Amino acid sequence: MKRFGVIGHPSSHSLSPVLHRRAFELLGLDCSYDSFDVPPGTLRGRLDEFREQGFRGLNVTLPHKEDAARIATEISDEARVVGAVNTLSFEPGRLVGDNTDVYGFAASLEAVRGNIERRPVLILGAGGSARAIVYALLTKFKPSGLSIANRTLSRAKELETHFRPFAGSSSLESVGHSHGVLQQLVERAGLVVHCTPVGMFPSVDECPVADEIRFHADQVVVDLIYTPLKTRLLSLAERQGARTISGLEMFLYQGARSFEIWLGKQMPVDTLRPVIIDALQTQRRERNS
Ligand code: NAP
């Protein structure tokens, strides 16, 4: 049996085991996938143990993505530029790191490419996930401009400086969280991507923008959050006619890419989407009971 898993701290909430186990079943693969709690500071030693136990690959989640990029013996260009690894493959004498969040995000937007190419994009947030999102947008969609809005302006500026070499003809700017500036940027954006935890379970009543912000019909709004599937931000945007996409799509496609890296097979994403929606509903019922 080929062994896989996800490591994080905490790790018990991850839906990756549900996704991969069901994919193994559907494709008749003799593989296992489990979640493992790996406390900070123990990653290197634990990776040696996983190798000794014959593991083929691991997904890596918070807080280990940056450390995994340092420990891997070789990493993909995307993982190097983003500075984070979310997929490790144990090869003889090598530990290979990839970042499938870049692919996952780009794949989740393929159907709305026309709203992004040569149009302005607004990113809300400048944390770990925003790095993969900025890189994916600049290198795979070429928007006319990309504005990074963050509570802490210096962090947005750091992202702007880091990704400037990849901007090509796209303009790049960083801004603070002032209501007036956000309203202007939202008005002209073909795509708005929310990359902070604001509005995630249990704080589902929170929203990263004021209720007065006006979205519009010629616009796509993505929330990377998928607990809940419809955040307050997505409800607000949808009521004003914008097309909305939940973080579930990125989750599915980043998992599909890891699966392909490890096994060379396509994950049946469309069959698995309702499986993960069911699992999310079960998680919600368990939390509420
Ligand atoms: P992170 O590195 O902790 O990012 C934190 C960002 O959120 C920073 O920009 C921070 O601003 C901002 N922030 C935090 N609390 C805030 C608040 N109360 N008000 C305003 N801004 C706030 O987190 P991350 O890894 O980027 O993840 C962000 C979200 O994306 C999470 O909900 C995560 O679950 C989700 N995610 C989803 C996927 C997927 O596959 N769908 C993948 C990765 C992440 P400051 O710089 O000012 O602190």
pLDDT in tens, 211-251: 999 999 999 999 999 999 999 999 999 999 999 999 999 99
DSSP β-bridge partners for residue 254:
none
Q: Is 227's C-beta closer than 6 angstroms to any atom of ligand 1?
A: no
Whether 173 contacts 148, CB under 8 Å = yes
Residue 2 CA to ligand 1 center (angstroms) comes to 33
Our answer on whether the CB atom of 221 is closer than 6 Å to any ligand 1 atom is no
pLDDT band at 179 (very low <50, low <70, confident <90, very high): confident
Q: What is the dihedral of CA 109, 115, 116, 121, to 10 degrees?
A: -110
CB 14 less than 6 A from any atom of ligand 1: no
Q: Residue 35: CB within 6 Å of ligand 1? A: no
231 lines ligand 1 (CB under 6 A): no
Residue from 59, 61, 101, 129 to probe ligand 1 pocket by mutation (most atoms less than 8 Å from CB): 129
Q: How far is the CA of 129 from the centre of ligand 1 (A)?
A: 7
**Is residue 13's pLDDT more than 90?**
no
Contact 9, 39 (CB under 8 A): yes
Amino acid at 69: A
- Average pLDDT, integer, range 61-81: 97
Average pLDDT, the chain: 96
Q: How far apart are the first and last CA of the chain?
A: 37
Cβ pair 186, 177 in contact under 8 A: no
Q: Which residue, judged by its Cα, is nearest atom 41 of ligand 1?
A: 247
Q: Take atom 8 of ligand 1 and give the residue whose Cα is closest.
A: 127
- Tens digit of each residue's pLDDT (9 = 90 or more) over 84-129: 999 999 999 999 999 999 999 999 999 999 999 999 999 999 999 9
β-strands 55-60, 87-91 pairing: antiparallel
Distance CA 17, CA 8 (A): 13
For ligand 1, mutation pick of 60, 65, 151 (most atoms within 8 Å of CB):
151
Predicted TM-score of the model (pTM)? 0.96
